[in-house]
Structure 1
Amino acid sequence: MAAIKLAGATVNQTPLDWKGNLDRILQAIQEAKSERVDILCFPELAITGYGSEDLFLSYWYPQKALAQLGKLIPFCQDITVAVGLPVRIQDKVYNTVAVIENAELKGFVAKQFMAIDGVHYEFRWFTPWEANQVIDFEFEGKNIPLGDLTFHHRGIQYGFEICEDAWRGKVRPGYRLRDRKVDLIFNPSASHFAMGKTAERKELFEYSSEIFNCYYCYVNLLGNEAGRMIFDGEILLTKSGKTVGRNQLLSFRDFQVFHFELEDKAQNIAPIHPKEWEFVQASALGLFDYLRKSKSNGFVLSLSGGADSSTIAVLVAEMVRRGIKELGLNEFVKKLELSFSPKSDNPEKELVGRLLTTAYQGTKNSSAETYQSAKSLAESLGAVFHFWTIDEEVHSYTAKIETAIGRKLTWEQDDIALQNIQARARSPIIWMLANLKNALLISTSNRSEGDVGYTTMDGDTSGSISPIAAVDKHFIQQWLQWAEKNLDRPGLSYVNSLTPTAELRPLERTQTDEKDLMPYAIIVEIERLAIRDKRSPMDIFLLLNDELGLDQTVLKDYIKKFFRLWSRNQWKRERLAPSFHLDEFNVDPKTWYRFPILSGGFAEELELLDQI
């Protein structure tokens, strides 16, 4: 085999940012050429961005992508470049990779399998290509081959599996590429981040390099491209069942070029981090990209002193810490388009104060412990901290309703209404603060509470972004304990000493979240089986009865409560602010799990539980 150098280039793209997307690709090509790279592979749909949604269905959008390809080709002298883009042929759109060699377009490889599970709806936009089919496609007056192609470069034959192609078992294109005796397979991808997923990829691509007896090079997109999905920017080379090289993931940079020599010995291999580190890295990058791409000036957060809002405050502070560490202070501030001149010897903490404004909005039902928790955390992070009470607003709303209905409201008769008015009364003033600062208001609801509707619409759901809505509360509680030590965040000590509570009932009623609902660890177990695995209530009872060892009556009651609350609260999940996809599954109806707003609520299925 000839001695060649290949590289993957991950890029942080944005739909409709034509100039920016092209500039990042060209900068990566220039860096690769300076490193004397022979073949450079970009991710899937790098020219447009993967998250272009229904723009792919238009006639003009794929045409403009081809025009961008035309601008790109002259910059590919003395290098071979593979770059992803959509191609429309009559009424069908194909997800393709264009291969350019020495400033000449050699062909388009078309994706053969569409991702249709979880967050993916590719069949809505793209048509799968048939194996072994090749046609001529007219581009700039020339007929260019398009379809199931392989290519040669200095004695090396190479081909492509595009993202989902590699996950299709015995029917994947790699087997046909092996029969064609390729030396190298590229996998340009737009593979969304999920905690633990990179370990699955490593296993798949090490296995792929072994069964296909070739080098296998995987290249993923980078960053929070369009709002919800985060891409980790992984670049990975495997050979003979082993990893040869792997880059550091979740970079704050616009692009990374990671190159390899085609030799079997291990080169630069970045470690795979545990879920706790992945969570903070992905969330920090997701917040950074959302902030800069939305052209906002910072974040505003209603900081209750509890687990959810405290998690988010730490994630914003970690965004600043990690961004400065990787980019340097000046470049980090420049990318956010901020005017910032540090006035202290702790610019990181000072910048957190510039970007994060918090407020503790107390009532007569709030405790001194949660106030101290919120205040101490904000001060330790450097965030601006405000404090006010909303009792006057709550009293005003309550008095108007009491006059209208002709009676006093009581906790015995009107519990939910009296709780919710406190949560909702906090929303208008915190929104006002966000508007004044041209900042993003952050919603604090988590996935477990979204499951069962333990969240107040126009209250703790208020916001333009909901970073942890796809993460379960049990994980958040464990992560906070981990973060206090491993992220050196001593301000979390107060948070970690508290029992989660909404603090919406009078203090003498000793309200706690798990007393209102059930243990969060149980919600996680039911949720995984019901939502991720799509099991029936009876299946879940039989499985958990063996695993958990709970009293059967108690377990049945938990399962019934989960499904009844789940069915009743779909409308709430439909209204949640955009959330990041961070775990293996989520309950967002726009990106992962669709459920009818109106339904029979599993009535017959739950009745069966009483018969055993």
Structure 2
Amino acid sequence: MSQKLKLAGACLNQTPIDWANNLRNIKNAIDDAKKEGVDILCLPELCITGYGCEDLFLSQWLPTTALEKLDEIIPHTSGIAISVGLPIRIEGKNYNTTAFIADKQVKGFYAKQKLANDGVHYEPRWFTPWSAGKVDSFEFEGKSIPFGHITIEHKGLNIAFEICEDAWQPDRPCEHLKTKIDLILNPSASHFAFGKSEFREELVIKSSNQFDCVYLYCNLLGNEAGRMIYDGDVLIAQKGKLIGRNHRLWYHDYRLLTVEVDFEKNTATENIKPHYSNRNEEFSHAAGLALFDYCRKSRSKGFVLSLSGGADSSTIATLIGFAVRTALEQRGKPGLEKVLGFQLTGDTPEEITKQLLTTAYQATKNSSDATFNSAKNLAESLGATFYNWQIDAEVNEYRSTIEEAIERKLTWEQDDITLQNIQARTRAPIIWMLANLENKLLMATSNRSEGDVGYATMDGDTSGSISPIAGVDKHFILQWLKYAEHELGFTGLKDVNALTPTAELRPEDQHQTDEEDLMPYEALMRIEREAILHGRSPKQVYEALKADFNSDQLKDWIKKFYQLWTRNQWKRERYAPSFHFDDFNIDPRSWYRFPILSGGYMEELNTML
């Protein structure tokens, strides 16, 4: 056995079927690894095609093209061994595999056994699980290559494999191996969620102890396909001890982590980078990276935002400012221009934000000076372009038209929702014009709490190309804004944080607030988690929360939640794509599916009451 070997994992920021980008990142990572004297390099799951190809995996041509691209990678492996992920189609069935290549020779293909089929994952739709212990052969380049549940002997090491979900499920593939394993490679596409990195790190450490080996885990990086964010984790553990950890959520195309391991003495040169320690840090970096990637991969010129001065739109503006600041720190202006595909006119974060972020305050007679000043001061502090205009004339035109048609006047006593919604909807066409003029992404501003209960106007504040905060609740947003002001240095949030959340759609003398319309945001968040994440009935939610809230109020809030949840599923079906941040979300296209028409929990609510 070789006494010392250099091991490395490289996280890659890939894009589905962006062959040039994907292969460039793979080849650059290999080249950097060779410069550092790496012996074995692990690359992420399905990194040749991109993990998020979805139903493209069912096509005939995609797996064929992936093999052609694998053939382009092989010549770059002179003097190094790599594990690289791709789909392979055999007799009409797709397999999620990683190819092990050593010094330009394909030594084998490992096929994934445990397919992710929960939450945001639907792998069984596209792939067939491989059977434990089964090894076949696959014809590639005129040679018969071992395929399936393989192990590889390389430089005196016995090397085994697991692909992502293989390690997260009982009856793991490595538990079926009869021989002593020295190294396990785990190429993964493990989506970001709050706190998940700690669980993942614990899994890698325990796995290295369980199998008495070195365990190398490597994840994707960035917003790959639109909704999922990958944090770029590279983790290496040796016999129950962490010896390597990558920087997460960085803005680079790829990032290498290298550790030198002495397999005879069971020692290693540790390379452990700092990590983010709380949800506020994780949200800032994950959301910022997701927005940055979404902008560049959609080939847009930046962002347009209807900035109301309230919490939601201010959160999005601040996240964009944070993304610009972080990208500039990490890539520099030339690197930023290269990846965005256009020239930047400024040099500072504020100057670049002015070019990339256009905001507008769209006032009605129900808008207040407080929210105008909040929006204006925040935009100026970020450097964003700021417009403001009145929409009363347009609102009045719509109102007079319908009043003439129905032959009566609209009143707040009789037509409250109608009069609120027309204001929100009237803002949408104008802000869309601005986004079209500047070829920028329009940001929808709904949060997850609003999505729960439909507290949003369709074709109004839900209008947009993407809904970046629809994956987090309002209770979290309100405390994050204070963190961003005091810890991230966004002092322009001072006025925002002094405001009480309000839609500002009713006349000022009605003193409208969000929590008065709905319920306290903390209660809404707690009910949501019990009802949606844990799947509990109204009565079960009440039993879980009754010790923490007034009994009668809690019953009213639970009733309101379930009634509004049921009534507004059609809205959730229409929301713009959102990012996945939490351990659950309410997007029916990526996590929680609910019938548009249902009995509305009527019997269950009556039982609780």
- The TM-score bracket by the shorter chain reads over 0.9
The CA deviation string for residues 353-409 of structure 1, in whole angstroms up to 9 with x for no partner, is 000000000000001100000000000000000000100000000000000000000
Q: TM-score, normalised by structure 2?
A: 0.98
Q: C-alpha separation between the residues in 2 aligned to 1:340 and 1:516?
A: 44
Q: C-alpha separation between the residues in 2 aligned to 1:92 and 1:605?
A: 44
Which residue is equivalent to 2:98? 97
Which residue is equivalent to 2:149? 148
Q: C-alpha separation between the residues in 2 aligned to 1:449 and 1:515?
A: 14
* Maintained 8 Å contact 2:345/2:351: no
Q: 1:313 aligns with which of 312, 317, 328?
A: 317
- Alignment of 1:555 onto 2:558: no
The CA deviation string for residues 201-255 of structure 1, in whole angstroms up to 9 with x for no partner, is 0111111111111111110001111111011111011123221110101111111
Which residue is equivalent to 1:533? 534
Secondary structure at the aligned position of 1:55 is classed as helix
* Maintained 8 Å contact 1:284/1:319: yes
Q: 1:300 aligns with which of 301, 304, 314?
A: 304
Which residue is equivalent to 1:487? 488
Which residue is equivalent to 2:497? 496
Segment drifting more, 263-272 vs 396-405: 263-272
Question: Where do 1:435-514 residues align within 5 Å?
Answer: 435-514=436-515
Q: C-alpha separation between the residues in 2 aligned to 1:500 and 1:386?
A: 22
Which residue is equivalent to 1:341? 345
Q: Aligned in 2, Cα 1:509/1:592: closer, same or farther, shift over 3 Å?
A: same
Which residue is equivalent to 2:173? 173
Letter in 2 for 1:270: K
Question: Where do 1:64-463 residues align within 5 Å?
Answer: 64-169=65-170, 171-177=171-177, 179-263=178-262, 264-265=267-268, 267-273=270-276, 274-342=278-346, 347-463=348-464
* Maintained 8 Å contact 1:221/1:234: yes
Letter in 1 for 2:213: C
Secondary structure at the aligned position of 1:67 is classed as helix
Question: Where do 1:18-57 residues align within 5 Å?
Answer: 18-57=19-58
* Maintained 8 Å contact 1:118/1:592: yes
Query: Offset of 1:305 from its aligned partner?
Result: 0.3
* Maintained 8 Å contact 1:7/1:259: yes
Secondary structure at the aligned position of 1:245 is classed as strand
Which residue is equivalent to 2:568? 569
Q: C-alpha separation between the residues in 2 aligned to 1:288 and 1:367?
A: 32
Secondary structure at the aligned position of 1:411 is classed as coil
* Maintained 8 Å contact 1:5/1:261: yes
* Maintained 8 Å contact 2:345/2:355: no
Q: C-alpha separation between the residues in 2 aligned to 1:91 and 1:529?
A: 42
* Maintained 8 Å contact 1:199/1:272: no
The CA deviation string for residues 254-283 of structure 1, in whole angstroms up to 9 with x for no partner, is 111111111435622122311101101011
* Maintained 8 Å contact 2:303/2:356: yes
Secondary structure at the aligned position of 1:137 is classed as strand
Which residue is equivalent to 1:589? 588
Number of residue pairs the alignment of both structures matches: 603
Q: C-alpha separation between the residues in 2 aligned to 1:111 and 1:382?
A: 48
Q: C-alpha separation between the residues in 1 aligned to 2:255 and 2:245?
A: 12
Q: C-alpha separation between the residues in 2 aligned to 1:188 and 1:88?
A: 19
Q: Tell me how large the CA RMSD over aligned residues is.
A: 1.0
Identity of aligned residues (%): 59
Q: C-alpha separation between the residues in 2 aligned to 1:580 and 1:509?
A: 35
Q: Which runs of 5+ in 2 are unaligned?
A: none
Secondary structure at the aligned position of 1:479 is classed as helix
Q: C-alpha separation between the residues in 2 aligned to 1:604 and 1:145?
A: 58
The CA deviation string for residues 148-167 of structure 1, in whole angstroms up to 9 with x for no partner, is 01111211111111000001
The CA deviation string for residues 471-494 of structure 1, in whole angstroms up to 9 with x for no partner, is 110000000011101110110000
* Maintained 8 Å contact 1:360/1:386: yes
Q: Which runs of 5+ in 1 are unaligned?
A: none
The CA deviation string for residues 503-533 of structure 1, in whole angstroms up to 9 with x for no partner, is 0000000000000000110111111111111
* Maintained 8 Å contact 2:311/2:478: yes
* Maintained 8 Å contact 1:109/1:147: yes
* Maintained 8 Å contact 2:259/2:268: no
* Maintained 8 Å contact 1:198/1:272: no
Letter in 2 for 1:269: I
Q: TM-score, normalised by structure 1?
A: 0.97
Q: C-alpha separation between the residues in 2 aligned to 1:515 and 1:236?
A: 47
* Maintained 8 Å contact 2:186/2:216: yes
After the TM superposition, list the runs of 4 or more consecutive aligned residues in structure 1 that deviate by more than 3 angstroms: 263-266
- Alignment of 1:521 onto 2:522: yes
